[in-house]
Amino acid sequence: MRDENCEIAIRVLLADNTRIHTQLLADALRRDGALEVICSDSDSRGLIARADLPSIDVLLLSSNLDEQPARGFEVLREVRALHPKVRAVMLLDSSKPETILEAFRAGARGVFNRQESVETLSKCVRRVYQGQIWADSQEMGLVLQALASSRSVHAVDARGVNLLSKREMEVVRSVAQGLTNREIAERLGLSQHTVKNYLFRVFDKLGVSSRVELLFLTLSQDSQSQSVRSCFWKSCADQSLQNDSVLVECQRAAEQGVPIAQLVLAQSYWTRRANSNDIIQAYKWYLIATQQISRTSKSVGKAMMMEELLQAEQMAAEWLKKAQRLPPSSIGDEADRPMKKGLGSASD
Protein backbone atom coordinates (compact mmCIF):
# COMPACT_ATOMS: atom_id res chain seq x y z
CA MET A 1 0.00 0.00 0.00
CA ARG A 2 1.19 3.49 -0.82
CA ASP A 3 -0.11 6.91 0.11
CA GLU A 4 -2.34 8.23 -2.65
CA ASN A 5 -0.29 11.43 -2.92
CA CYS A 6 3.21 9.93 -3.04
CA GLU A 7 5.02 7.11 -4.79
CA ILE A 8 7.32 6.19 -1.90
CA ALA A 9 6.68 5.41 1.75
CA ILE A 10 6.52 8.20 4.30
CA ARG A 11 9.60 7.97 6.55
CA VAL A 12 8.51 8.32 10.17
CA LEU A 13 10.92 8.56 13.10
CA LEU A 14 9.22 7.55 16.35
CA ALA A 15 10.43 8.45 19.85
CA ASP A 16 7.94 7.49 22.56
CA ASN A 17 8.44 7.90 26.31
CA THR A 18 9.99 4.42 26.71
CA ARG A 19 11.64 1.94 24.37
CA ILE A 20 8.86 -0.59 24.94
CA HIS A 21 6.16 1.95 24.08
CA THR A 22 8.18 3.03 21.06
CA GLN A 23 8.40 -0.53 19.74
CA LEU A 24 4.72 -1.31 20.39
CA LEU A 25 3.50 1.84 18.68
CA ALA A 26 5.89 1.32 15.76
CA ASP A 27 4.55 -2.21 15.21
CA ALA A 28 1.00 -0.85 15.18
CA LEU A 29 1.82 1.93 12.71
CA ARG A 30 3.60 -0.45 10.34
CA ARG A 31 0.24 -2.00 9.53
CA ASP A 32 -0.17 1.05 7.31
CA GLY A 33 2.04 0.09 4.39
CA ALA A 34 2.49 3.73 3.41
CA LEU A 35 4.53 4.38 6.56
CA GLU A 36 8.18 3.41 6.94
CA VAL A 37 8.54 3.59 10.73
CA ILE A 38 12.00 3.94 12.30
CA CYS A 39 12.38 3.57 16.06
CA SER A 40 14.64 5.88 18.03
CA ASP A 41 16.30 3.60 20.55
CA SER A 42 18.65 6.21 22.03
CA ASP A 43 18.01 8.93 24.58
CA SER A 44 17.01 12.48 23.65
CA ARG A 45 20.61 13.63 23.07
CA GLY A 46 21.11 10.77 20.66
CA LEU A 47 17.88 11.67 18.88
CA ILE A 48 18.99 15.28 18.40
CA ALA A 49 22.35 14.13 17.03
CA ARG A 50 20.91 11.70 14.47
CA ALA A 51 22.47 12.23 11.05
CA ASP A 52 19.34 11.06 9.19
CA LEU A 53 16.97 13.70 10.62
CA PRO A 54 16.97 15.79 7.39
CA SER A 55 15.66 12.77 5.47
CA ILE A 56 12.83 12.10 7.95
CA ASP A 57 9.38 13.08 6.64
CA VAL A 58 7.53 13.17 9.97
CA LEU A 59 8.91 13.05 13.50
CA LEU A 60 6.56 11.45 16.06
CA LEU A 61 7.72 12.65 19.46
CA SER A 62 6.36 12.06 22.95
CA SER A 63 6.03 15.10 25.20
CA ASN A 64 7.73 13.05 27.93
CA LEU A 65 11.21 11.72 27.19
CA ASP A 66 14.09 10.37 29.30
CA GLU A 67 11.56 9.88 32.12
CA GLN A 68 11.28 13.68 32.30
CA PRO A 69 7.88 15.40 31.94
CA ALA A 70 7.83 17.95 29.08
CA ARG A 71 11.34 16.97 27.95
CA GLY A 72 9.92 16.35 24.48
CA PHE A 73 9.17 20.05 24.02
CA GLU A 74 12.80 20.96 24.67
CA VAL A 75 14.00 18.25 22.30
CA LEU A 76 11.70 19.44 19.53
CA ARG A 77 12.99 23.01 19.86
CA GLU A 78 16.56 21.80 19.51
CA VAL A 79 15.72 19.54 16.57
CA ARG A 80 13.97 22.36 14.72
CA ALA A 81 16.82 24.75 15.45
CA LEU A 82 19.12 22.34 13.62
CA HIS A 83 16.62 21.06 11.04
CA PRO A 84 13.79 23.62 10.64
CA LYS A 85 12.14 21.69 7.80
CA VAL A 86 11.42 18.65 9.97
CA ARG A 87 7.65 18.20 10.42
CA ALA A 88 6.76 16.95 13.87
CA VAL A 89 3.70 15.57 15.63
CA MET A 90 3.68 15.72 19.41
CA LEU A 91 2.20 12.72 21.26
CA LEU A 92 0.34 14.07 24.30
CA ASP A 93 -0.85 12.32 27.44
CA SER A 94 -3.00 15.31 28.33
CA SER A 95 -5.38 17.61 26.49
CA LYS A 96 -4.76 20.51 28.84
CA PRO A 97 -4.65 23.86 26.97
CA GLU A 98 -1.17 24.73 28.24
CA THR A 99 0.18 21.40 26.97
CA ILE A 100 -1.33 21.90 23.51
CA LEU A 101 0.02 25.45 23.28
CA GLU A 102 3.48 24.36 24.42
CA ALA A 103 3.56 21.72 21.67
CA PHE A 104 2.82 24.27 18.94
CA ARG A 105 5.20 26.80 20.47
CA ALA A 106 7.93 24.18 20.32
CA GLY A 107 7.33 23.85 16.58
CA ALA A 108 4.93 20.91 16.26
CA ARG A 109 2.81 20.76 13.10
CA GLY A 110 0.26 18.56 14.84
CA VAL A 111 -0.80 17.31 18.27
CA PHE A 112 -2.14 13.83 18.92
CA ASN A 113 -3.89 12.62 22.06
CA ARG A 114 -3.03 9.04 22.97
CA GLN A 115 -6.67 8.26 23.65
CA GLU A 116 -7.32 8.29 19.90
CA SER A 117 -6.87 5.26 17.64
CA VAL A 118 -3.75 4.17 15.77
CA GLU A 119 -5.72 4.53 12.51
CA THR A 120 -6.31 8.19 13.38
CA LEU A 121 -2.61 8.60 14.13
CA SER A 122 -1.77 7.22 10.66
CA LYS A 123 -4.12 9.78 9.13
CA CYS A 124 -2.50 12.51 11.23
CA VAL A 125 0.96 11.53 9.95
CA ARG A 126 -0.25 11.60 6.34
CA ARG A 127 -1.80 15.06 6.70
CA VAL A 128 1.27 16.55 8.37
CA TYR A 129 3.46 15.01 5.67
CA GLN A 130 1.28 16.75 3.08
CA GLY A 131 1.96 20.11 4.77
CA GLN A 132 -1.25 20.42 6.77
CA ILE A 133 -1.77 21.21 10.45
CA TRP A 134 -3.33 18.47 12.59
CA ALA A 135 -5.53 19.92 15.31
CA ASP A 136 -9.25 19.98 16.05
CA SER A 137 -11.26 23.21 16.18
CA GLN A 138 -10.86 23.58 19.92
CA GLU A 139 -7.10 23.15 19.77
CA MET A 140 -6.84 25.58 16.86
CA GLY A 141 -8.91 28.09 18.79
CA LEU A 142 -6.44 27.91 21.66
CA VAL A 143 -3.55 28.66 19.32
CA LEU A 144 -5.29 31.63 17.72
CA GLN A 145 -6.28 33.02 21.10
CA ALA A 146 -2.70 32.70 22.35
CA LEU A 147 -1.38 34.55 19.29
CA ALA A 148 -3.97 37.33 19.69
CA SER A 149 -3.03 37.81 23.36
CA SER A 150 0.73 37.42 22.88
CA ARG A 151 2.43 37.90 26.21
CA SER A 152 4.72 40.84 26.92
CA VAL A 153 8.36 39.85 26.96
CA HIS A 154 11.36 42.05 27.71
CA ALA A 155 14.87 41.77 26.33
CA VAL A 156 16.36 42.59 29.76
CA ASP A 157 16.43 40.67 33.01
CA ALA A 158 15.20 41.86 36.43
CA ARG A 159 18.38 43.91 36.87
CA GLY A 160 17.99 45.60 33.52
CA VAL A 161 20.89 43.69 31.97
CA ASN A 162 20.59 43.04 28.25
CA LEU A 163 19.85 39.38 27.57
CA LEU A 164 21.09 39.38 23.98
CA SER A 165 24.64 39.65 22.76
CA LYS A 166 25.64 42.13 20.07
CA ARG A 167 25.61 39.40 17.40
CA GLU A 168 22.22 38.11 18.56
CA MET A 169 20.82 41.63 18.27
CA GLU A 170 22.15 41.83 14.70
CA VAL A 171 20.31 38.61 13.87
CA VAL A 172 17.10 39.92 15.47
CA ARG A 173 17.27 43.18 13.48
CA SER A 174 17.78 41.18 10.29
CA VAL A 175 14.72 39.03 11.07
CA ALA A 176 12.70 42.20 11.67
CA GLN A 177 13.68 43.37 8.17
CA GLY A 178 12.23 40.18 6.68
CA LEU A 179 15.53 38.52 5.73
CA THR A 180 15.73 34.75 5.37
CA ASN A 181 18.34 32.70 7.25
CA ARG A 182 20.41 32.50 4.06
CA GLU A 183 20.29 36.30 3.60
CA ILE A 184 21.16 36.87 7.26
CA ALA A 185 24.12 34.50 6.92
CA GLU A 186 25.38 36.38 3.85
CA ARG A 187 24.96 39.76 5.53
CA LEU A 188 26.76 38.79 8.75
CA GLY A 189 29.34 36.47 7.20
CA LEU A 190 28.04 33.41 9.03
CA SER A 191 26.87 29.96 8.03
CA GLN A 192 23.14 29.24 7.92
CA HIS A 193 23.68 26.64 10.65
CA THR A 194 25.18 29.32 12.91
CA VAL A 195 22.26 31.67 12.22
CA LYS A 196 19.81 28.91 13.21
CA ASN A 197 21.70 28.39 16.45
CA TYR A 198 21.63 32.12 17.18
CA LEU A 199 17.88 32.18 16.59
CA PHE A 200 17.40 29.20 18.89
CA ARG A 201 19.29 30.98 21.67
CA VAL A 202 17.32 34.20 21.05
CA PHE A 203 14.00 32.30 21.24
CA ASP A 204 15.11 30.72 24.51
CA LYS A 205 16.29 33.99 26.08
CA LEU A 206 13.23 36.03 25.07
CA GLY A 207 10.65 33.34 25.75
CA VAL A 208 9.33 33.17 22.18
CA SER A 209 9.06 30.13 19.94
CA SER A 210 8.80 31.41 16.37
CA ARG A 211 9.86 34.16 14.00
CA VAL A 212 6.31 35.56 14.16
CA GLU A 213 6.48 36.09 17.92
CA LEU A 214 9.99 37.52 17.53
CA LEU A 215 8.77 40.01 14.93
CA PHE A 216 5.92 41.12 17.17
CA LEU A 217 8.35 41.49 20.06
CA THR A 218 10.76 43.54 17.95
CA LEU A 219 8.07 45.89 16.69
CA SER A 220 6.60 46.42 20.15
CA GLN A 221 9.66 46.68 22.39
CA ASP A 222 12.79 47.43 20.37
CA SER A 223 14.28 50.72 21.57
CA GLN A 224 14.90 51.82 18.01
CA SER A 225 11.24 51.19 17.16
CA GLN A 226 10.26 53.32 20.16
CA SER A 227 12.29 56.27 18.87
CA VAL A 228 10.96 55.75 15.35
CA ARG A 229 7.36 55.77 16.62
CA SER A 230 8.08 59.06 18.41
CA CYS A 231 9.58 60.38 15.17
CA PHE A 232 6.52 59.16 13.29
CA TRP A 233 3.98 60.98 15.43
CA LYS A 234 6.02 64.19 15.46
CA SER A 235 6.32 64.11 11.69
CA CYS A 236 2.62 63.39 11.21
CA ALA A 237 1.75 66.23 13.56
CA ASP A 238 3.65 68.98 11.75
CA GLN A 239 3.69 67.28 8.28
CA SER A 240 7.13 68.66 7.49
CA LEU A 241 10.83 68.02 7.90
CA GLN A 242 11.59 71.47 9.24
CA ASN A 243 12.52 69.94 12.60
CA ASP A 244 16.15 68.97 12.01
CA SER A 245 16.29 66.52 14.94
CA VAL A 246 13.28 64.66 13.55
CA LEU A 247 14.86 64.57 10.09
CA VAL A 248 18.17 63.22 11.40
CA GLU A 249 16.45 60.58 13.55
CA CYS A 250 14.18 59.43 10.74
CA GLN A 251 16.99 59.46 8.19
CA ARG A 252 19.23 57.34 10.41
CA ALA A 253 16.49 54.81 11.16
CA ALA A 254 15.44 54.68 7.51
CA GLU A 255 19.00 54.01 6.38
CA GLN A 256 19.15 51.16 8.91
CA GLY A 257 16.14 49.56 7.22
CA VAL A 258 13.21 50.48 9.50
CA PRO A 259 10.08 50.60 7.28
CA ILE A 260 8.17 53.00 9.57
CA ALA A 261 10.95 55.58 9.30
CA GLN A 262 11.10 55.11 5.53
CA LEU A 263 7.37 55.81 5.24
CA VAL A 264 7.75 58.86 7.48
CA LEU A 265 10.47 60.26 5.22
CA ALA A 266 8.45 59.58 2.08
CA GLN A 267 5.32 61.22 3.52
CA SER A 268 7.26 64.21 4.82
CA TYR A 269 9.20 64.83 1.59
CA TRP A 270 5.98 64.59 -0.40
CA THR A 271 4.15 66.96 1.94
CA ARG A 272 6.93 69.55 1.70
CA ARG A 273 7.69 69.27 -2.08
CA ALA A 274 9.88 72.38 -2.04
CA ASN A 275 11.68 71.23 -5.19
CA SER A 276 12.06 68.27 -7.54
CA ASN A 277 14.56 66.61 -5.22
CA ASP A 278 11.87 66.33 -2.51
CA ILE A 279 9.60 64.51 -4.96
CA ILE A 280 12.45 62.18 -5.96
CA GLN A 281 13.25 61.47 -2.30
CA ALA A 282 9.58 60.79 -1.53
CA TYR A 283 9.29 58.36 -4.40
CA LYS A 284 12.57 56.63 -3.49
CA TRP A 285 11.59 56.04 0.13
CA TYR A 286 8.08 54.84 -0.82
CA LEU A 287 9.67 52.27 -3.12
CA ILE A 288 12.16 51.12 -0.47
CA ALA A 289 9.53 50.94 2.28
CA THR A 290 7.16 48.96 0.09
CA GLN A 291 9.82 46.37 -0.69
CA GLN A 292 10.81 46.11 2.97
CA ILE A 293 7.20 45.68 4.09
CA SER A 294 6.57 43.12 1.37
CA ARG A 295 9.54 41.03 2.46
CA THR A 296 8.56 41.24 6.14
CA SER A 297 4.94 40.29 5.42
CA LYS A 298 6.12 37.26 3.43
CA SER A 299 8.37 36.23 6.29
CA VAL A 300 5.45 36.48 8.73
CA GLY A 301 3.14 34.64 6.33
CA LYS A 302 5.51 31.69 5.97
CA ALA A 303 5.56 31.21 9.73
CA MET A 304 1.76 31.29 10.13
CA MET A 305 -0.75 28.51 9.89
CA MET A 306 -3.44 28.53 7.20
CA GLU A 307 -6.22 29.40 9.65
CA GLU A 308 -4.23 32.38 10.90
CA LEU A 309 -3.55 33.58 7.35
CA LEU A 310 -7.22 33.38 6.44
CA GLN A 311 -8.24 35.26 9.57
CA ALA A 312 -5.66 38.00 8.93
CA GLU A 313 -6.70 38.33 5.26
CA GLN A 314 -10.36 38.62 6.24
CA MET A 315 -9.59 41.30 8.83
CA ALA A 316 -7.47 43.21 6.33
CA ALA A 317 -10.21 43.05 3.68
CA GLU A 318 -12.76 44.38 6.17
CA TRP A 319 -10.46 47.24 7.17
CA LEU A 320 -9.71 48.19 3.56
CA LYS A 321 -13.39 48.12 2.72
CA LYS A 322 -14.08 50.43 5.62
CA ALA A 323 -11.13 52.66 4.69
CA GLN A 324 -12.60 53.28 1.23
CA ARG A 325 -15.31 55.32 2.93
CA LEU A 326 -12.76 57.53 4.73
CA PRO A 327 -11.50 60.92 3.40
CA PRO A 328 -8.47 60.69 1.09
CA SER A 329 -5.04 60.89 2.69
CA SER A 330 -2.84 63.96 2.64
CA ILE A 331 -0.77 62.50 -0.20
CA GLY A 332 -3.49 63.54 -2.61
CA ASP A 333 -5.10 62.01 -5.68
CA GLU A 334 -2.64 63.65 -8.04
CA ALA A 335 0.13 61.31 -6.80
CA ASP A 336 -1.97 58.17 -6.90
CA ARG A 337 -1.57 57.19 -10.53
CA PRO A 338 2.22 57.47 -11.02
CA MET A 339 3.00 56.02 -7.60
CA LYS A 340 0.96 52.85 -8.11
CA LYS A 341 2.90 51.78 -11.18
CA GLY A 342 6.27 52.27 -9.56
CA LEU A 343 5.35 50.56 -6.30
CA GLY A 344 3.94 47.57 -8.10
CA SER A 345 7.08 46.97 -10.12
CA ALA A 346 9.33 47.35 -7.07
CA SER A 347 7.54 44.62 -5.11
CA ASP A 348 7.32 42.09 -7.98
Q: What Rg, from alpha-carbon coordinates, does the chain have?
A: 24
> Same domain for 18 and 138?
yes
Residue type at 332 in one-letter notation: G
Please state the domain count of the chain.
3
> Same domain for 317 and 340?
yes
189: domain CATH number? Answer: 1.10.10.10
Residues ≥6 apart with Cβ < 8 Å to 12: 29, 35, 36, 37, 38, 56, 57, 58, 59, 60, 125
- In the chain, where do the E strands start and end? 10-15, 35-39, 58-62, 87-92, 110-113
> Same domain for 82 and 28?
yes
157 assigned to some structural domain: no
Q: Lowest-confidence range among 182-191, 275-284, 319-328? A: 319-328
Query: Which of 92, 120, 147 lies at the terminal end of a domain, its last residue?
Result: 147
> Same domain for 261 and 307?
yes
> Same domain for 106 and 182?
no
| Mean local confidence (pLDDT), 310-318 | 80
C-alpha–C-alpha distance, residues 183 and 180, integer Å: 5
> Same domain for 123 and 190?
no
156 assigned to some structural domain: no
Decide if pLDDT at 287 tops 60: yes
Query: Which of 147, 179, 208 lies at the terminal end of a domain, its last residue?
Result: 147
> Same domain for 24 and 126?
yes
pLDDT for 144 equals 64
Q: Residues 148-168: pLDDT tens digits? A: 554 444 455 444 446 788 888
Q: Lowest-confidence range among 41-55, 168-182, 185-199? A: 168-182
Domain limits for position 257 = 224-347
> Same domain for 174 and 282?
no
124: domain CATH number? Answer: 3.40.50.2300
> Same domain for 252 and 331?
yes
Higher pLDDT, 46 or 290: 46
> Same domain for 44 and 114?
yes
